[in-house]
């Protein structure tokens, strides 16, 4: 009997906490499969950056929600070879690197906790997902944005390992970085992201859980590609 060819996958949903390795895995996977890659966290970061830029109080839910409706966020392929993985434009302005500043880190959890902000971003993310052949990375992709995605992954790592990665990344980018402060921030954001009222961070019931603490992203990607080629009962 001829071997059955697996059905093509339209959307791969990857969720997990900050610095769990989900973005690296998602990007490598998209490259290997020739899929588009969408890091949804950068959309919440873009609104946070715009709020700070316009001196809107991030505690003002109404004003921040209005801003989320008003701003244009474009995510485009790499334009400059400066280590970026994509380019983010807000109302035409390239703010890719501004998205990673400590000020944005400190405020993004609050901005992403607002229902109106989430509804608007989920709408935009779903429109992107409808195109198919997308790897989408975030906190609520498998549970809310693309609940019918045929492959859902939930990637975690210990808080200490995630803080080590963040510290290393910031130093590589030429910034100062204090491990203890970064660890405290990772734990603070985990708490807000997991306990917020709207779309808290949690694995979808049918998500495959992967612990990246001791596993390099390349190995994880190989395992996922294997899974796609030879789906195990119940995994797809």
Question: Among residues 130 and 226, whose Cβ is nearest to ligand DC?
Answer: 130
Residue 105 and residue 188 in contact, taking contact as beta carbons nearer than 8 Å: no
> What is the x/- site pattern for ligand DC, positions 186-215, by CB under 6 A?
---x---x----------------------
Q: Give dist(CA 132, CA 207) in Å, integer.
A: 19
Question: Among residues 159 and 231, whose Cβ is nearest to ligand DC?
Answer: 159
Decide: is 109 part of the binding site for ligand DC (CB under 6 A). Answer: yes
Q: Give dist(CA 208, CA 2) in Å, integer.
A: 28
Tell me, what DSSP letter sits at residue 131?
Answer: T
Q: How many residues bind ligand DC (CB under 6 A)?
A: 13
- As measured in angstroms, the least distance from the Cβ of 109 to ligand DC is 4
φ, ψ dihedrals at 57, nearest 5°: -65, 120
Query: Of these, 108, 134, 182, 221, which contacts ligand DC (CB under 6 A)?
Result: 108
Residue 36 and residue 133 in contact, taking contact as beta carbons nearer than 8 Å: yes
Counted residue by residue, the chain has a size of: 236
φ, ψ dihedrals at 194, nearest 5°: -85, -25
Residues 116, 118, 123, 128: is their CA dihedral positive or negative?
positive
Question: Among residues 61 and 231, whose Cβ is nearest to ligand DC?
Answer: 61
> What is the x/- site pattern for ligand DC, positions 122-161, by CB under 6 A?
----------------xxx---------------------
- As measured in angstroms, the least distance from the Cβ of 130 to ligand DC is 17
Name the residue with tokens 């505690």: 59
Q: Give dist(CA 126, CA 106) in Å, integer.
A: 27
Question: CB neighbours (10 Å) of residue 161?
Answer: 18
- As measured in angstroms, the least distance from the Cβ of 18 to ligand DC is 4
- As measured in angstroms, the least distance from the Cβ of 12 to ligand DC is 14
Decide: is 41 part of the binding site for ligand DC (CB under 6 A). Answer: yes
Q: Give dist(CA 47, CA 108) in Å, integer.
A: 8
Question: Among residues 120 and 140, whose Cβ is nearest to ligand DC?
Answer: 140
- As measured in angstroms, the least distance from the Cβ of 139 to ligand DC is 4
Residues engaged in binding ligand DC (CB under 6 A): 18, 40-41, 44-45, 108-109, 112, 138-140, 189, 193
């Amino acid at each position: 009997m001829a071997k059955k060819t697996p059905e093509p996958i339209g959307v791969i949903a990857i969720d997990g906490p900050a610095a769990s390795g989900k973005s690296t895995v998602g990007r490598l996977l998209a490259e290997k499969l020739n899929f588009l890659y969408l890091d949804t966290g950068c959309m919440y970061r873009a609104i946070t950056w715009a709020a700070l830029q316009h001196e809107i109080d991030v505690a003002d839910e109404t004003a921040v929600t209005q801003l989320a409706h008003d701003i244009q966020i474009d995510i485009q392929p790499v334009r400059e070879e400066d280590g970026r993985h994509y380019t983010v434009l807000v109302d035409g302005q390239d703010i890719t690197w501004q998205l990673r500043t400590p000020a944005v880190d400190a405020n993004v959890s609050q901005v992403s906790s607002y229902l109106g902000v989430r509804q608007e971003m989920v709408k935009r993310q779903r429109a992107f997902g409808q195109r198919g052949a997308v790897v989408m990375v975030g906190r609520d992709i498998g549970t809310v944005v693309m609940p019918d995605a045929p492959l859902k992954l939930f990637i975690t790592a210990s808080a200490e390992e995630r803080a080590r990665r963040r510290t290393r990344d910031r130093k590589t980018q030429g910034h100062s970085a204090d491990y203890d402060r970064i660890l405290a921030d990772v734990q603070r954001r985990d708490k807000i992201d997991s306990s917020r009222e709207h779309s808290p961070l949690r694995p979808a019931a049918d998500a495959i859980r992967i612990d990246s603490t001791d596993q390099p992203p390349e190995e994880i990607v190989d395992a996922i590609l294997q899974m796609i080629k030879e789906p195990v009962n119940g995994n797809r």
